[in-house]
Structure 1
Amino acid sequence: MRRKILSIAAAGVTTVLMTLGACSNNTHPAQTTPTHTSPPVTTPKTPSGSMPTYPGATVTSNVSGTTMLHSGDTVSKVGAFYVDTLAREGWKTVSKHQGEFSTNIVAKRGREGVTVQVSPTGSGTSITISKYPVG
């Protein structure tokens, strides 16, 4: 029950952050044009911080600590990448839902928190990574 509540809360926080970012009067607008790159040899970091970008994914938005990416790979494959990567990089999973049609991970490392949401789109998979301080 607690995991379900944390998962719902994390989804709500991400939605609020994305809405606030979209409504802000930012003098430095986020890059909204996807760039096409070949899969990297090493895993680059997202513009929002030290969270790795899924190999071959394109950044579609980066606003206020939230990075949105797009990949042509399946939700299952992208979700498995983030489950493995978070564990390998020392993140402690607070809650996790991993399924065929969605993955939602809330994790903590030191005084940082991260929420990773992976969901299908009409043309592939959407990845939302939100980083935030935790007390």
Structure 2
Amino acid sequence: MDRVIYKGKYPVLELDIAKTRTRARSVDEIIAALLQHIDGNPAIAYLGIFDHYAHTMSLGGAVADGVVDAKNLLFCFGKTIPDLSVLAVRPRSIGILDLGDHFHITFLEPPQDGVTRQLVSWCEALIED
């Protein structure tokens, strides 16, 4: 995964996966694969799916060239509330975009290294060699 600083301040992790390197053929299939990790962990709460593409299109909004579908998988790792600011970075979201020949997966870097490693491993597990 690549780490970028979006808009000069937000640490974001991104991964492009060619459709030839994954079993998934749609954003929904990527989400289903990621949900297996969430469903198997009692410390993670599944919150829902946000269809970002449908929402944007319903508003007559602009969508970047090549985007076929775009959804966010929403969940929360929160086992504790360690300080007053932590809710600003919760819940978590993984964005999945279908760009025709590949998927683009992205998420805001969590403040905990262990959670970051877990999310990276989920995303990289989608790749088949």
Is the TM value for this pair above 0.5?
no
Larger Rg: 2
Q: Which has the higher contact order (CA 8 A, sep 6+)?
A: 2
Q: TM-score, normalised by structure 2?
A: 0.45
